[in-house]
Copies of this chain bind each other. A is one copy, B any other.
């Protein structure tokens, strides 16, 4: 199930359309045309080398990422040593412009499924969807291995699992910082704590006979009031173990300087509390639990009741409260149904939808679909979040509408009302300097971000050849004194989730959706007499997304005549060559419509013989 990597520049330029080219000349996001695999699997898939040297096996840890190396999201990686596999994270990725209509993209676990008897553990570092989101879809395929994670992460995973009634019962080992877990004969893992925008996140020190690996997913730097950096001790501690390779995220690698501190963000938010007389509405991510906890404290200080709008936020806060991660005084948290009972200056609403998501709470408020909350003049809305690339326009529209309806809007362009959950380039350098690894492998981010991240390591002294830039699926071999990105890869192309379907929407369907969105389609139905090959009725024409046919009667008439002409000119033989006729209609009508309109709708000919 290992195959030669086919994603070299020279290979990928064939079946993809223009839009594909625009997204990636190298990275392989979609499965190579399915037919190819079905027709001749041997041509494509190469079995592992059976005569592989036993000594090599003894001395080698293999690693591959199944996602996260060409995108923000879909984080999932695994380490393999002899017959033992340890997986880290199982995240999802949100759809992109060129994957319209799908719900999520999840990692491809084909290789792990075949090798599921080797899987000893699934480690989940923290409870964000780009790290836990694929769990309901893949656990059965993985043979339902034990999940090692923290108490909060376990609770959030279990809550989500309720939406997937058919998935198997999950098995957990709850871990805490500095728990040491003997995962298998040869692998031991020690967890250690880092800071992020959600509590109870861990990094993993993975001890193998080949060496010690540190796998550090999302990590942020925070500072106290005096500007002292928090949480560096753990990196000092881990460096004493002697680190073979450090895996470190790249999200903000290209951002210079230091992060804004949460203290500053809290101060700025508190300043708005002080000067606001009307209702306060704060939009942020449901998963930003650390910030939410602080905001609730501020609300208590300024004697405002807290109303939560958005199911995911309500759930997350409840779970965190149950586990003691958020402490809320009795009577602070109230139901939105009671909103009308309180004066404006006693109200704080915490809301989802700060990205302008159409179905989230804040958008429902401005469209008037929210049952308990509408904007009125005097309201103040704070956006305490960054704008995820791709969401700019919908956030703009949300701000427009809030302002139109009379709200005063604060967002981070003017003062810091949000601090990123990810360390900047300068901060990543501090981590690398503290951990002192022999090798460095940037994870979590597009190639450009990871290449900047690799340069950071070089700036603090690692030789260039000790920094590794690898692709999703690409196998890296670690021996005691060496690390090598091989030419082998496991499948890592997109698995798309669309409704109930997992993986049934492939590149062909995506391509059709993109074409339909651009130019629409025209269905042409020719109903012919089987014997004479003559029309039994006028050709039927249906079109959607092309032009509004009711207003273009003339074009329809011309089109009908054109179709009749094509059929009339067909050579008269015994049987109608239906495929040939269809391709004639497709080509000639396509060209005709292009000449008339300079558009290329999808032309779908149907020949019905009666």
Contact = CB atoms under 8 A, between A and B. Distances in A.
Contact of A606 (B358, B399, B542): B542
Interface string A569-610: 000000000000000000000000000111100101010101
Contacts of A514: 517
A110 interface: no
B366 A401 contact: no
Contacts of A399: 446, 448
Given A358-B22, A392-B392, A542 B604 contact: yes
Contacts of A369: 21
A369 B22 CA distance: 11
Interface string A367-398: 11100000000000000000001101110110
A551 B509 CA distance: 12
A500 B596 contact: yes
B22 A397 contact: yes
Contacts of A446: 396-397, 399-400
Q: Summarize A's interface: helix, strand, loop or mixed.
A: mixed
A521 B518 contact: no
Interface string A407-420: 00100011000000
A553 to B, nearest CB: 13
A509 B547 contact: yes
Given A520-B513, A548-B506, A389 B400 contact: no
A599 B504 contact: no
Contacts of A548: 34, 504-506, 508-509
A336 interface: no
B400 A544 contact: no
Interface in A414-453: 414, 446-448, 451
A608 B537 contact: yes
A41 interface: no
A536 interface: yes
Nearest to A97: B393
Interface stretch (A23-31, A195-203, A311-319): A23-31
Interface in A509-533: 509, 512-514, 516-521, 523, 525, 527
Contact of A500 (B97, B254, B359, B598): B598
A393 B404 contact: no
Contacts of A22: 356, 358, 363, 367, 394, 397
Contacts of A536: 610
A233 interface: no
B392 A9 contact: no
A13 B597 contact: no
Given A97-B393, A448-B400, A544 B516 contact: yes
A604 B517 CA distance: 17
A606 B540 contact: yes
Contacts of A606: 523, 525, 540, 542
Contacts of A9: 368, 405
A523 B604 contact: yes
Contact of A451 (B256, B403, B498, B597): B403
What class of interface size applies to chain A in its complex with B?
Answer: 35 or more
Most B C-beta atoms less than 10 A away, residue of A399, A403, A517, A610? A517
A393 B537 contact: no
A22 B361 CA distance: 12
Interface in A76-135: 96-97, 100-101
A552 interface: yes
Contacts of A542: 523, 604, 606
Contacts of A100: 517-518
A546 interface: yes
Given A500-B596, A518-B101, A596-B500, A401 B254 contact: no
A255 interface: yes
B448 A403 contact: yes
A26 B414 contact: no
Contacts of A546: 509
A529 to B, nearest CB: 9
A587 to B, nearest CB: 18
Contacts of A512: 520, 544-545
Contacts of A26: 401, 404
A101 B544 contact: no
10 contacts: A27-B400, A34-B551, A96-B393, A101-B545, A101-B599, A400-B448, A401-B447, A499-B598, A500-B598, A523-B604
Interface of A: 9, 13, 18-19, 21-27, 34, 70, 96-97, 100-101, 254-256, 356, 358-359, 363, 366-369, 389-390, 392-394, 396-397, 399-405, 409, 413-414, 446-448, 451, 498-501, 504-506, 508-509, 512-514, 516-521, 523, 525, 527, 536-537, 540, 542, 544-548, 551-552, 596-599, 602, 604, 606, 608, 610
Given A512-B520, A523-B523, A523-B604, 18 more contacts: A22-B394, A22-B397, A25-B405, A26-B401, A27-B400, A34-B551, A100-B517, A254-B413, A254-B414, A255-B413, A392-B392, A399-B446, A403-B447, A498-B599, A501-B597, A513-B545, A516-B520, A527-B527
